[in-house]
Amino acid sequence: MSFNKILKYAVPAAFISSLPFLANAADTANLKSDDFVGISFWLISMALMAATLFFFMETQRVSAKWKTSLTVSGLVTLVAAVHYFYMRDVWVGTGETPTVYRYIDWLITVPLLMVEFYIILRACTAVAGGVFWKLMIGSLVMLIGGYMGEAGYINATLGFVIGMVGWIYILYEIFAGEASKASEEAPESVRSAFSTMRWIVTIGWAIYPIGYFMGYMAGGVDANSLNIIYNLADVLNKIAFGVIIWNVAVTESEA
């Protein structure tokens, strides 16, 4: 192996393995063996870190026009990994996980995940640039509405309604709008990835509005269970979503 090659792999590997230290919020507390919320935070943080390393390394393997989509998948898991290490430490130290913390992660990762629909279409069709903005704006409306409701700036029900409008708009765009129409011109492997990805945005993502509804509008929800469910949901919504993109990038590069 040449020195250059070693550098190419060693640098990202060293950087990613330092993530837990970069995001260390509380050195004093320890994870208890029966603390399942804490354990789920640990598992998802490490899975996200491993996924990040994998996506970044695999950019070396795919052809140029597929590199962007893999890089974006890696950025999603990177942002979430750093964030989860922090949340896990706050949880172990204080026994709390303010839901608003999650919005900091979502504000970056959700628009990136939505933009993936545009990026994979752009790699193989003549998709219009407006699709990018529609997906971006829909994501922001969804998150800002939810945040304002959750943080108490507006009524919780109003925040929910605004958030739902943003989500439904995104779903319309990928199932029936311009993005969906552009996907019909894409090769078979891209069409099938596109279709699986939109079902993740429908079913995998539904967990968050359900959590919001139960927590603020249906009389409360057990915060511990909700944390575990949210943490596990990200295996599907961030890692599996990225793996689908990785799969189509490799398939199309080898075709």
Cβ nearer to ligand RET, comparing 139 with 183: 139
Choice between 124 and 145, CB closer to ligand RET: 145
Could you tell me the smallest distance in angstroms from the CB atom of residue 60 to ligand RET? 26
For ligand RET, the closer of residues 11 and 161 by Cβ is 161
Nearest to 106 by CA among 49, 163, 67: 163
Q: Which residue has the tokens 């509008």?
A: 217
Per-residue tokens: 175: 């199932």
Closest to ligand RET by CB, 53 vs 113, is 113
Shortest Cβ distance from residue 236 to ligand RET (Å)? 9
- Residue among 68, 128, 40, 80 nearest 249 (CA): 68
Nearer to ligand RET, 26 or 112 (CB): 112
Tell me how far CA of residue 185 lies from CA of 35, 62, 115, in angstroms.
49, 22, 18
- The least distance separating ligand RET from the CB of residue 65, rounded to whole angstroms, comes to 25
* 152: DSSP letter: T
Task: Choose between 26 and 165: whose C-beta lies nearer to ligand RET.
Answer: 165
Q: Which residues bind ligand RET (CB under 6 A)?
A: 106, 109-110, 113, 142-143, 146, 160, 163-164, 167, 205, 208-209, 212, 234, 237-238
64 contact partners, CB below 8 Å, separation of at least 6: none
Tokens of 128: 């219009």
CB of residue 197 to ligand RET, shortest distance in Å: 12
User: How many separate helices (H) and strands (E) can be counted in the chain?
Assistant: 12, 0
Question: What is the nearest approach in angstroms of ligand RET to the Cβ of residue 118?
Answer: 16
Residue nearest to ligand RET (CB): 146
CB of 8 to ligand RET, least distance (A): 28
| CA proximity to 143, closest of 117, 116, 106, 118 | 106
CB half-sphere exposure, 43, CA atoms < 13 A:
15
**Rounded CA separation 161/159 (Å):** 6
